[in-house]
């Protein structure tokens, strides 16, 4: 899960890493009160899940309150890099001396957290890697030792950084690693980490990614994710530990399975046959008939979906449970929907017998390709 800048800064502040003083707004109605505690000039940033906001016009400056109001009117509700702007971060503008780059990333090749530092901040780290590879240093963190003082000393010696900032830098790096570990992050990035005109180290911008699988340990982040989610079916499916995936707005076919690989295979074959998939749902493992029934109801809550292709390999999820789940869903007023079902594995024969007796709008098939042909045939009958 990726965090917007304002949420990442909240976590930085929680771990005693200084950021600009600022407020988040989603309306200009009370903007005078909202920013009354801030000193001009202001920097105003759109809060969207995309990089390169500045180049796209998503970061602007205002010298006083009246110009800040005009900028907010311009940005709020605008589209930046394909995203509708619903929140703005208004912060005090910082007089910048030097700009550094600091991040900790989960490096899967090393199987360690990795510190990445550059004395050139404020631009994409990829640009620095390309143009000035000697200005980037990578240091793996031994998880049994954590961040030790010698790492900061090494970085300062390597780039001959001003010694007066060593203590602040070392504290920021230590706290950033603590945040990385305690919030199960795969990335924490400060870019830029600036030296201000009054000689303080401030995190002016940040990025953070948190492992989705850890959100049960972080109710504050789970709540944030749900508050940002626009699709109600994603939230509803999550309550049952399902993964609902919107695909295309004008698709009338949905795919359901107990694995992402199977879902992708089905979608690929359906698309190749010039049909459109509107949504998919991953059941995960061990789904009972009641949960299967709920999953089907969630799929058909999307009124654009008229056909559902279910492909399940029955191991932990038994085929008879799948069939009884289909029966339960159809019995609850879904008789106008078309379901194509391919089941393999545990209790397949029992499951097929149950499906056979449900009704003409439920068709069992022996393979994915046969199921796609059935969907195609249904389309031509309409």
Higher pLDDT, 171 or 108: 171
Which position has the higher pLDDT, 287 or 35?
35
The CATH number covering residue 87 comes to 3.30.1490.20
pLDDT in tens, 13-61: 999 999 999 999 999 888 889 998 999 999 999 999 888 888 889 999 9
| pLDDT of res. 114 | 97
Residues 204 and 75 reside in one and the same domain: no
pTM confidence score = 0.75
Pair 349, 300 in one domain: yes
Mean pLDDT computed over 94-120: 93
List the beta strands (DSSP E) in 185-275.
185-196, 201-203, 206-210, 243-246, 253-257
**H-helix or E-strand containing 89?**
strand 88-92
Residue 229: which pLDDT band, with cuts at 50, 70 and 90? low
Q: How many alpha carbons lie under 13 Å from residue 330 in its C-beta half-sphere?
A: 23
How many folded domains does the chain comprise?
3
Q: What are phi and psi of 324, to 5 degrees?
A: -65, -30
In a domain, 35, yes or no: yes
- The reply to whether 207 and 289 lie within a common domain is no
Residue 9, domain member (yes or no): no
Domain of residue 197, residue span: 96-219
Q: Answer with the residue of higher pLDDT: 177 or 238.
A: 177
Query: What are the backbone dihedrals phi and psi of residue 260, each rounded to the nearest 5 degrees, phi first?
Result: -70, -35
Whether the per-residue pLDDT at 65 is higher than 80: the answer is yes
In a domain, 10, yes or no: no
Give the pLDDT confidence score for residue 171 in this predicted structure.
97
Same domain, 36 and 70: yes
- pLDDT (average), residues 329-344: 83
Strands 206-210 and 185-196: antiparallel
Would residue 8 count as lying in a domain?
no
Largest CA distance in the chain: 79
Last residue of a domain, one of 40, 58, 93: 93
Which of 93, 128, 155 is the endpoint of a domain? 93
CB neighbourhood size of 67 (10 A): 16
């Amino acid at each position: 899960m990726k965090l917007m800048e304002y949420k990442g800064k909240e976590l930085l502040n929680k771990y005693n890493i200084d950021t600009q003083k600022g407020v988040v707004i989603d309306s200009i109605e009370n903007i005078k009160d909202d920013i009354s505690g801030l000193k001009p000039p202001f920097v105003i940033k759109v809060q969207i899940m995309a990089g390169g906001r500045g180049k796209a016009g998503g970061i602007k400056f205002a010298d006083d309150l009246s110009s800040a109001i005009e900028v907010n009117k311009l940005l709020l509700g605008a589209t930046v890099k394909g995203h509708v702007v619903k929140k703005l971060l208004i912060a005090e503008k910082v007089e910048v001396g030097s700009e550094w780059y600091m991040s900790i990333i989960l490096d899967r090749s090393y199987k360690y957290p990795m510190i990445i530092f550059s004395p050139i901040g404020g631009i994409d780290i990829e640009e620095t890697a390309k143009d000035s590879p000697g200005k980037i240093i990578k240091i793996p963190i031994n998880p049994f030792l954590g961040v030790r003082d010698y790492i900061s000393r090494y970085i300062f010696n390597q780039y001959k950084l001003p010694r007066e900032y060593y203590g602040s830098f070392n504290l920021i790096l230590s706290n950033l690693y603590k945040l990385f570990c305690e919030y199960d992050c795969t990335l924490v990035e400060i870019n830029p980490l600036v030296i201000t005109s009054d000689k303080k180290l401030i995190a002016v911008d940040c990025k953070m990614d948190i492992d989705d699988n850890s959100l049960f340990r972080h109710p504050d982040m789970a709540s944030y994710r749900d508050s940002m989610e626009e699709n109600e079916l994603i939230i509803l499916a999550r309550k049952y530990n399902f993964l609902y995936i919107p695909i295309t707005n004008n698709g009338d076919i949905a795919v359901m399975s107990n694995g992402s690989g199977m879902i992708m295979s089905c979608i690929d074959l359906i698309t190749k046959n010039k049909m459109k998939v509107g949504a998919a749902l991953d059941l995960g493992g061990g789904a009972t008939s009641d949960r299967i029934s709920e999953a089907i109801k969630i799929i058909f809550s999307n009124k654009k979906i008229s056909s559902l292709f279910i492909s399940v390999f029955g191991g932990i999820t038994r085929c008879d449970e799948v069939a009884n789940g289909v029966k339960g869903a159809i019995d609850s007023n879904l008789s106008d929907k078309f379901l194509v079902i391919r089941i393999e594995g545990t209790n397949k024969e029992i499951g097929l017998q149950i499906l056979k007796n449900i009704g003409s709008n439920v068709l069992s098939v022996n393979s994915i390709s046969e199921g796609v042909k059935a969907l195609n045939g249904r389309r031509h009958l309409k």
